[in-house]
């Protein structure tokens, strides 16, 4: 019987760089004011794209019609066998490339000028979906949006209502996630719990409102039994710091995600320090201190091209420090009061 092309063993030298790998799966997403095309040769990797971005409302920004392409590839690999977690991501750059490298089989390369990114994942990395999503896939998406659209990337949370929002900034462990969760439980819209992206001229904020992360000891402050069940039955993730948290999916219907970008009308530094009383929870930051505190709180964002304009607008707007009340709901009330106060201007 005559041999067919399918019977011929592939010659590695004919495609040494693996350029002819077919991408069998593709999905389009409208994220962070831009259009993203995700392509992959692996259905399991596309499942992680769905876990990160499925069910989110499309966010459009004025005059932002950027198209980005993210390719995800699966390669053989057993470098993580027996590991509790993957090695930390190492950042590299050069020749117009921005890279995050876990090891030889797990890395992401972003080419902002070409509006493209490549995410390479080993088969055993699929066993660490949290790190895969946050440290590789979201790395690609966030860098492309920051550099391509010109957004200011903030480490923080953001909640709002009726088209307006308040930025929740502050050090890790200050209580931003807890405040975001209780804001959702009390009817505010969630824009993001961990990363917020702001257009510096319009102060429109966008984000990815997929999960909130809650420590087990925070459940004692949740009065609603259905909400405690929703969180308590969620998967548990382990941060790089070693802290374990529930990863509760807001898209399941418990709470509202922001249907569109929100206009920033206020910003607070969330503090872990207790307030003496309810009236002392929200205190203004002296105008001369705002820029200094902002840069110290957001060192990466302070190096981006749109930072100066963003900083000027927040200084002119004014910022507050929010100290912790006896119950997280008191902090939510303070944020709601700030939203209402600014909406009347």
In the chain, how many domains are there? 2
User: How confident is the model over 70-96, as a mean pLDDT?
Assistant: 91
Out of 68-72, 110-114, 182-186, 325-329, least confident range:
325-329
- pLDDT tens-digit series, residues 116-139: 999 999 999 999 999 999 999 999
Same structural domain for residues 161 and 143? no
Helix 287-297 to helix 307-317 angle (10° resolution) is 140
* pLDDT band, residue 22 (cuts 50/70/90): confident
Least confident of 11-15, 143-147, 196-200, 317-321: 11-15
Does residue 168 share a domain with residue 127?
no
- Residue 275 placed within a domain: yes
pLDDT, residue 345, reads 61
Please state, rounded to an integer, the average pLDDT across all residues of the chain.
91
Task: Supply the pLDDT for residue 211.
Answer: 94
Domain that holds residue 26: 21-149
The whole-number pLDDT of residue 157 equals 97
Residues 176 and 216 in one domain: yes
Token pair for 289: 């201190």
Percent of the chain with pLDDT over 90: 75
Same domain, yes or no, for 185 and 302? yes
Average pLDDT over residues 21-28: 84
Residues 145 and 212 in one domain: no
Strand stretches in the chain, DSSP E: 25-31, 34-40, 67-75, 90-94, 97-103, 106-111, 116-122, 152-155, 157-161, 164-169, 189-192, 195-199, 204-207, 211-214, 236-238, 244-249, 256-257, 262-274, 282-284, 320-324
> Residue 83's pLDDT is what?
87
pLDDT of residue 277: 79
Task: Choose the final residue of a domain: 149, 167, 190.
Answer: 149
Question: pLDDT band for position 270 (50/70/90)?
Answer: very high
Does residue 98 sit in the same domain as residue 217?
no
pLDDT for residue 10: 55
Which has the higher per-residue pLDDT, 253 or 99? 99
For position 5, what pLDDT does the model report?
A: 43
Determine the average pLDDT of the residues in 71-90.
Answer: 90
Query: Are 271 and 158 within one domain?
Result: yes
């Amino acid at each position: 019987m005559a041999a067919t092309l399918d019977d011929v063993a592939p010659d590695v030298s004919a495609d040494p760089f693996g350029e002819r790998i077919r991408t069998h799966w593709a999905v389009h997403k409208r994220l962070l004011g831009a259009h993203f095309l995700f392509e992959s040769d692996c259905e399991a990797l596309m499942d992680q794209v769905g876990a990160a971005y499925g069910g989110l409302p499309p966010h459009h920004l004025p005059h932002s019609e950027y198209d980005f392409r993210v390719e995800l590839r699966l390669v053989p690999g057993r470098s993580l066998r027996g590991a509790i977690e993957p090695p930390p991501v190492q950042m590299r750059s050069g020749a117009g490339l921005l890279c995050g490298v876990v090891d030889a089989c797990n890395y992401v390369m972003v080419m902002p000028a070409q509006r493209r990114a490549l995410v390479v994942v080993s088969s055993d990395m699929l066993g660490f979906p949290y790190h895969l999503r946050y440290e590789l896939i979201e790395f690609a998406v966030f860098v492309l949006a920051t550099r391509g659209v010109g957004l200011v990337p903030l480490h923080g949370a953001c909640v709002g209502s009726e088209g307006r929002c308040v930025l929740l900034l502050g050090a890790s462990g200050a209580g931003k996630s807890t405040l975001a969760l209780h804001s959702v439980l009390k009817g505010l819209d969630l824009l993001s719990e961990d990363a917020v992206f702001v257009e510096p001229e319009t102060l429109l904020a966008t984000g990815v409102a997929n999960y909130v992360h809650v420590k087990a000891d925070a459940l004692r402050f949740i009065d609603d039994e259905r909400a405690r069940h929703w969180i308590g039955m969620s998967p548990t993730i382990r941060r790089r710091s070693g802290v374990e948290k529930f990863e509760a999916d807001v898209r399941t219907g418990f709470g509202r995600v922001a249907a569109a970008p929100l206009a920033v009308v206020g910003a607070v530094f969330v503090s872990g320090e207790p307030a003496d009383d309810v009236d002392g929870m929200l205190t203004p930051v002296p105008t001369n201190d705002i820029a200094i505190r902002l840069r110290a709180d957001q060192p990466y964002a302070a190096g981006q091209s749109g930072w100066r304009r963003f900083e000027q607008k927040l200084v002119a707007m004014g910022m507050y420090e929010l100290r912790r009340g006896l119950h997280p709901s008191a902090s939510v009330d303070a944020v709601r009061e700030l939203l209402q106060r600014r909406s009347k201007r």
